[in-house]
Copies of this chain bind each other. A is one copy, B any other.
Amino acid sequence: MNSEIIKKMVRKPSAWVDPKGPFAEIVFSSRIRFARNIQGHKFSISSTENEKKILFDELTEDITAIELFKDGYVLRMEDLSSIEKEFLVERHLVSFDLCFESDMGGAIIDKNERVSIMINEEDHLRIQGFADGLQMFEVFDFLNLVDDEIGARASYSYDKDFGYLTACPTNIGTGMRASALVHLPALVITREIEKIIRKLKTKRVLVRGLYGEGTDIKGNFFQLSSSASLGKSEENIISIVTEIVKEIVEKERNARETLMKNAQMQIEDKIWRAYGLFKYARLLTSDEAINLSSALRLGVGLGVIRDVALKQLNKLLVYIQPAHLQLVYERKMDNYERDRMRARFVKEILSLDSKGSNDG
């Protein structure tokens, strides 16, 4: 049952991979999550597997009753293979901790993958919403409706002075985090990025890599996240993050203009080389694919590359990951085999049919 769901998900990228939102050529995605806990239940860290199971079943009943999730997916960690769990992590739908801390964790996801609710993670509920481009308020409004519907069925732990009570004290209050994944190649090339990151830190914005907490900056992707103390209310936090992202988008656009004025040929060279390598390479590591996709993304943004769409590049970033590749090709692969199939699948995603590309 769970495997059938995963198979279905593998065939179809999350809806927000198709970018229609504002600034989508620079802002890959907007994400918001609420941390919620349920009255009368111990925090996950101190509850038994059995208590977790009881809570899971209760919450699943409450959540699947909501219209949005009626044709959605309910996934229990105990029913998933390692590779299926990794797949969900790669898609940002669940956290690594949810997958490997307890068998009684799980997630409920709507069929467009716009909302994913983790159950029995660090908090009883982590309600997450995703959108393409810069759409913080849109995600927030939608997530609020979901949150209200759940809150009407389950009793949240809430204190009128402190706000939502969470397992980790840093989340107490709104229990919210707003993040944007932004692509800033021009700011990296012009080295302005260093100053920007220093400034963001003073503003209490966290800066992380492409694949979340503790990951390196790759492919010039930066994940900017609000810390709890960024603003007082949810709306306040979201408008601060939105403003910051808009400012950075503006800076990136200016840097792109400067580059095209001063080093157009070098930039176009970099972009077209990436195109040529995607089209002809027979082996691609994950890191190289991310870096090449960064150059190509810049090329699409600058109008240099016209036969590749952002949607394809978004899909590429998701599907070049190990679990995605293995589930697409329905077999276990070692590193070498993944590099081979990655090089092949990238051509398919980008519709780069080179005369010789299938000779190998």
Contacts from A to B (Cβ < 8 Å):
264-266, 268-269, 272-273, 275-277, 279-283, 304-307, 336, 340, 343, 354-357, 359-360
Contacts and interface: CB of A to CB of B under 8 A. Distances in A.
A282 B307 contact: no
A325 to B, nearest CB: 16
Nearest to A284: B269
**How many copies of this protein are present in the complex?**
2
B277 A282 contact: no
A272 B266 contact: no
* Pairs A-B, 8 closest by C-beta atoms: A276-B280, A276-B276, A269-B282, A272-B280, A269-B283, A268-B360, A268-B282, A273-B281
Contacts of A359: 268, 304
Contacts of A266: 283
A275 B269 contact: no
Nearest to A337: B265
Contact of A277 (B277, B304, B357): B277
Contacts of A336: 265
A325 B281 CA distance: 29
A276 B336 CA distance: 21
Given A277-B277, A307-B355, 5 more contacts: A269-B282, A273-B276, A276-B276, A276-B279, A279-B280
A72 B265 CA distance: 42
A277 B273 contact: yes
A184 B268 CA distance: 33
A346 to B, nearest CB: 12
Contacts of A276: 273, 276-277, 279-281, 354
Contact of A343 (B269, B275, B279, B343): B269
A281 B272 contact: yes
A283 B268 CA distance: 9
Nearest to A343: B269
Contacts of A275: 280, 356
Contact of A356 (B282, B305, B357): B305
A280 B280 CA distance: 11
Contacts of A360: 264-265, 268-269, 272
A280 B279 CA distance: 10
Contact of A265 (B304, B306, B340, B356): B340
Nearest to A304: B359
Contacts of A265: 282-283, 336, 340, 360
A272 B356 contact: yes
A304 B268 CA distance: 28
A266 B282 CA distance: 8
A281 B295 CA distance: 13
A272 B282 contact: yes
A298 to B, nearest CB: 14
8 contacts: A265-B336, A265-B360, A266-B283, A268-B282, A268-B360, A272-B356, A276-B277, A276-B280
Contacts of A280: 272-273, 275-276, 279
Nearest to A356: B272
Most buried by B among A275, A355, A356: A356
Contacts of A355: 307
A280 B355 CA distance: 15
